[in-house]
Structure 1
C-alpha cells in the first residue's frame, strides 16, 4: 500500500483520462491520493473530483483546501469563509497548500504572509493539519510557524527540496516532510538525496506532485513526460537507496504516517 499525499488532479493535463490515471494508481498499489487545493477555485475543483469519483474509487480520494503563495494576491474577505465552508466536506482533510515562495514572487511577500497567517489561523480554529509549500523562504516561514505551532494539530512541508538547516528547522517543530520525484534527479536532487536519511521514519511521507516532477529514474518515461500517481513507487525506491529501510518498509511506514496525519484511520 502507498499513499500519495500531493496530486494536482485538477490540472488540465489530466482532463482526458482521469479515470484511467486513478485505475493505474490503484493497480500500482497507490490506494489513496490527497488532491491539492492551490486556490479557492482549485480547492472547489478538487473537492468536486472527490465527489465525482467517490463511487468508482471508494475511499481513494481526499483533498486539501487552501491558497498557494503564488495565488495569495487573490485573498479577499470571502476567501477564508469559502475555505472554511469547504472543510465541512468529508473529503477535505487539511488546510493548504499554503506558505511562502520568495523564488518568483507572483504575489508580494506581504500578500503571501497575510494569506499564510489567515490560513494558519483557520487551521488552528478547525484543528485540521496544514499542508505547506515553501521555496527560498525557509527562515521567514519558520519564524511564522514557530508563532503558530502550539495551536496546530499537525503540519507537513510538502515537496521538500531545501537545505539541511531548513529540514532541521521543520523537524524541530515536530513536522512531517513530504518527498517527491525531485529525489530521483541526479542533477538537481543530489542535495536532497544526501538529506533523506536524516528524516525520522515516523516523519516521512511520499508524493508525486503529479503532473510535475516525473521521476528521472524511470527507464521508459511516458510520452509528454507527465507524472502520475502510479509512478510513486519510483520515488520510494530512490529514497530506499539512501536509507536503511527497504522500499517495502518505507511504503508501509509512510502510509501509516499519512493515515495518522490526515486522520484517515
Structure 2
C-alpha cells in the first residue's frame, strides 16, 4: 500500500525534535509521499526548505492561510510568487476564508484570497484551499475564476452535503482528514464521503492537528502525524463500501495526478 498525505503541517514546532522519526513511521505505515503545507509568510519558505531536504518524499505548497491574512502585502505577494516558481512547490495555498475563528478581519481574508487566486492564475499551478463557515463568500470569490484555474482542492473538507456538491459542480477535488473519525462532529462525513468520485478524492492528516479520535492505541501526546493516514484511509474505505486497497490506490493515483508526483523517487528519510 502506498499513500499520499496531501496536507501535513510539518513545519509546526511539535515536529522539530523528531521529524526524522516521524517520516520513518510514516513510511513504515505506507505513506510514500507527503505535501507540506505552507500557510504563512514565515511557514511557506520553511515548507520549501523541508521539501528540498527530502527530495521525492516531501513536496510543498506556498500560501497564506486566512488566519494570517493580515500579513499579506506587496512584499508577501512577491515572496509567494518567488516560492511558487520552485519545482518543489506543487500548489498555491493554503488560502481561503475562515469565519469560524475570524482571526483576521473578513475583508482582509477576502483580499488575501483574491490575491492568491491571481497568483494561481498567473503560474498555472493547482490551488490548495481552506473554507470554514464562509461558504457563500468563498463560492462568490472562487466561482467567477474557476474555469481559468488549474486543479483545485478544498482541503480538510468538513462541510454539508450541499457544500460538497457545490465544490464537485465546480470540478474541485476534496480532501478528507481524521475529522471523519470524530463521533461528535464528523458523522455526517461518513454519510456523504461516498458521493465523492474516486478521481476527486484525496486524504490527508492535517497533522499535528485532528488526531483521529478512534485511533488505537491513542498516543499520550495527542499529536497527529502522517503515520495515521493509513487509519484515515481505512475509515474512508469502510464508509464508501470499498476495499482498503481500492481506496488507497484511488486516492494515491488522484493525489499524484493533482500534484504531478512521480512514484518511487524519494531517497529516504
2:208 aligned with 1:211? yes
Q: In the alignment, is the contact (CA less than 8 A) between 1:139 and 1:166 conserved in 2?
A: no
Q: Aligned-pair RMSD on alpha carbons?
A: 0.9
Provide the TM-score with structure 1 as the length reference.
0.97
Quote the offset at 1:240 in angstroms. 1.2
Question: Which residue in the other structure is 2:26 paired with?
Answer: 25
Describe the SS at the equivalent of 2:221.
Answer: helix
**Structure 2 CA distance, aligned partners of 1:80 and 1:251?**
36
* 2:218 equivalent among 212, 215, 221: 221
- Structure 2 gaps of 5+ residues are 263-269
**Structure 1 CA distance, aligned partners of 2:121 and 2:148?**
5
**Structure 1 CA distance, aligned partners of 2:17 and 2:75?**
32
**Structure 1 CA distance, aligned partners of 2:203 and 2:187?**
17
* 2:105 equivalent among 91, 97, 108: 108
- Render the CA deviation track for 1:41-88: whole Å, top value 9, x for unaligned: 10001111112233xxxx110000000000001111111110110122
In the comparison of the two structures, how many residue pairs are matched? Answer: 261
2:73 aligned with 1:72? no
* 1:240 equivalent among 237, 241, 246: 237
**Structure 2 CA distance, aligned partners of 1:184 and 1:163?**
16
Where do residues 1-265 of structure 1 align in structure 2 (5 Å cutoff)? Answer: 1-54=2-55, 59-265=56-262
Quote the offset at 1:198 in angstroms. 1.1
Describe the SS at the equivalent of 1:5.
Answer: strand
- Structure 1 gaps of 5+ residues are none
Q: In the alignment, is the contact (CA less than 8 A) between 1:70 and 1:105 conserved in 2?
A: yes
Provide the TM-score with structure 2 as the length reference.
0.95
Quote the offset at 1:228 in angstroms. 0.5
Describe the SS at the equivalent of 1:231.
Answer: helix
